[in-house]
Structure 1
Amino acid sequence: MDQFRQLQAFVAVVQSGSFVRAADKLDCSKAVVSRLVLELEAQLGTRLLNRTTRRLSLTDSGSDYFERGRQILDELADANAAASATTAQPAGRLKINAPLTFGNLHLAPLWGEFLKAYPQVELDVTLADRVVDLVEEGFDLAVRISAATSLQSSSLVARPLSSDRAILCASPTYLQRAPAIAQLKDLAQHSVMAYSYWSAGDVWTFAGPQGPESVTTHPRLRANSGDTCRAAALADQGIVLQPGFLVGPDLKAGRLVEILPHYRGPALGIHAVYPSRKHLSGKIRVMVDFLAQAFRQPGWL
């Protein structure tokens, strides 16, 4: 126990830059902090800190010891947080961001079930298709849908929930009156309803029989809402490239028809994204587990 307190004191001094601030952080006196660090140095038989009247600095031994000591304390804090999450009832406000259409179609029906299961959690749900900055905007968790390899931020943890693909389709009426589509390049001559947030812009790429193929489209309509693109397609105005979770029911009912089915649209990954694994709160942990279970067998696949 004494060595643990010594390590706490030493790491706090280094992180705060002074014995006084370390004492405030540990809720004890400066004399206690100083004694603990001196005892640690004596026990190790080496000086960890260079002390002057103006500043503190780490010795070579102190630098190595600090890095290892900080890691030990961080791992202990993580273990405590994980244990608390499994025993304590999740509580508090959980701020979530999700895409507009997916949020309305596939998340909204789940919130009531979650609230019943966790009565002490409050949900604050914001639906927007733009990519929010979780830390800057104060979100605990986001559901993101993107090309399977596009989650590149090393600062975020992404847990897969499900998958989908973008499907090229149009209404039967539009296809009857428009020029025939025999090859992918024929799309360049057609009316297209384009989703503004599509990462590749007007260039649509598919996995074709001979490998990847791309075509540059010429949108007649652009919208930052997949629902708007779908509505225009249902009104016989052109072709859309939209996820199965949105157009799947229309394809099954015959309101839309898949075009060039031997060309596979981009794979989409559906993830729960949160800032860090460290000190993960119980409310985030249970929400991620809840969503993973809910989308284990999604209806659109």
Structure 2
Amino acid sequence: MDTLLSLRVFCTVVELKSFTAAASRLGVSPAMASKHLTHLEGRLGMRLLNRTSRSVSLTEVGALYLHQARQALDGLDEVEAAIGDVVAAPRGTLKLSAPMWMANPATARLIADYHRRYPDVGVDMDFSGRIVSLVDEGFDLALRATASDKLDPGLVVRPLMDVPFQLVGAPAYLTRTGRPSGLSDLNGHALLLYGGMSANGSLPLKGRAGEVTVKFSVVMRSQNEIMLHLSALEGMGLVFLPVWMTQADVASGALEVVLPEDVMFSVPLHAVYPSRKYLSAKVRTFIDFVSLRMSGDDACCLENSAFVRAAAAAGEHR
């Protein structure tokens, strides 16, 4: 039996979550698709998929095998294209993990623009906010915002840009509590705190007059930036969020930027992937596309590096 075709059947079944759909795409019968899976499992002596009458799911071994199989097939496609003196066209499904706060209109426009340029690439995006295992879970790529020394040294890391963050609050909250005129005025203010930060609310902030440790009153702590954002809009307290999440609310007056010259800082955003070897066209073109687009954005410097260091030390991986 053609092992190469068996690999394609396996990857397509996982992508479409159906033997029937995979068989239709590849021009074989469902029974033959099932035989190809049995062939692979027989060669390995291990089960790759859990199969029921209604669904298929990867086993732990299958998840690892899927990543390697995809890399091998993508590499083979590009080698064949190179031999044919043509450029390998990106295609397939790009499985991507990104921070929760990137689920916003700017990211949607970026993904839509990429798809218009490369229509044969579909995107499977995970915005759960958790740190996924790229290899074990079959992800092609992740976008992660954190200090580079906090990333897995076994991954390839490509810096993309610095993402600016701001301290914002609703006008109703600031009218009720008073608008701070300096860093020391932030002491005691209600803070909606990202879950990876210091739980006691003490944060070192570097302003124009030097570094000051501010003691906030933490009124909410969550790993979900969207919930923090919505709570800030309700006037519950102040929150540090990426400019990408808040720019529309600031423009409309729903949120105000607090002490923009003192507490604005940025966090580096990286593209990370498992290996440079056999880097597929879909991964390479996506990284290049995102890098080019982001290089044109205004990104502030790490003015508040003390805050970023505190976040990184607390294990923040947004």
TM-score, length of structure 1 as denominator length: 0.64
Q: Structure 1 counterpart of 2:123, which letter?
A: L
Per-residue deviation, 1:168 = 1.2
**Residue 136 of structure 2: SS of its match in structure 1?**
coil
CA contact (8 A) 2:94 2:124 kept: yes
- Please give the residue correspondences for 1:280-299 in structure 2 after superposition, counting only pairs within 5 Å: 280-298=279-297
Correspondences of 1:1-301 after superposition (within 5 Å): 84=82, 87-146=87-146, 148-179=147-178, 181-198=180-197, 202-298=201-297
Cα distance, 1:180 vs structure 2: 5.2
Q: Which runs of 5+ in 1 are unaligned?
A: 1-76
CA distance in 1, matches of 2:233, 2:126: 28
2:198 and 2:134 map into 1 onto residues whose CA distance is: 20
Change (3 A) 1:180 1:284: closer
CA deviations 1:38-72 (Å, max 9, x no partner) are xxxxxxxxxxxxxxxxxxxxxxxxxxxxxxxxxxx
Q: Distance in 1 between matches of 2:141 and 2:251?
A: 33
Post-superposition offset of 1:95? 0.9
| Residues 237-273 of structure 1: CA deviation (Å, up to 9, x unaligned) | 2111111111122223322222223313332112221
2:230 aligns to what SS in structure 1? helix
Amino acid at match of 1:177: R
**Whole-Å separation in 2 of the counterparts to 1:130 and 1:294:** 25
Relative to 1, partners in 2 of residues 1:89 and 1:106: Cα closer, same or farther, differing over 3 Å? same
1:206 and 1:266 in contact (8 A); partners too: no
Which consecutive unaligned segments of at least 5 residues does structure 2 have? 1-74, 301-318
Structure 1: distance between partners of 2:199 and 2:274? 26
* Corresponding residue SS for 1:263: helix
Change (3 A) 1:124 1:261: closer
Q: Counterpart in 1 of 2:56?
A: none
TM-score (norm 2): 0.61
1:176-200 CA-partner distances (Å, limit 9, x unpaired): 2214534424433121111223478
How many Å apart are 1:149 and its aligned residue? Answer: 4.7
Letter in 1 for 2:203: W
Superposed CA RMSD: 3.1
Residues 262, 291 of structure 1: alpha-carbon distance in 2 compared, 3 angstrom cutoff: closer
In structure 2, C-alpha distance between the alignment counterparts of 1:238 and 1:180, rounded to whole Å: 12
Larger radius of gyration between Structure 1 and Structure 2: 1
| Counterpart residue identity of residue 280, structure 1 | L
Q: For residues 82 and 209 of structure 2, what CA distance do their matches in structure 1 show?
A: 53
8 Å CA contact retained: 1:191, 1:238: yes
3-state SS, counterpart of residue 192 of structure 2: strand
The number of residues matched between the two structures is 223
Which letter maps to 1:212? E
Q: Deviations over 1:99-142 (max 9, x none)?
A: 22313333222333323322332322111212222122221101
1:65-88 deviations in Å (ceiling 9; x for gaps): xxxxxxxxxxxx9xx96x949822
- 1:139 partner amino acid: F
SS of 1:232 mapped into structure 2: helix
1:130-157 deviations in Å (ceiling 9; x for gaps) = 22221222211011223x5554422222
Comparing 96-105 and 194-203, the one that deviates more? 194-203
Q: Report sequence identity in percent.
A: 33
Deviation >4 Å, runs of 4+? 83-86, 148-151
Instruction: From the superposition, tell whether residues 218 and 141 of structure 1 become closer, same or farther in structure 2 (CA, over 3 Å).
Output: same
Residue aligned with 2:175, SS:
helix
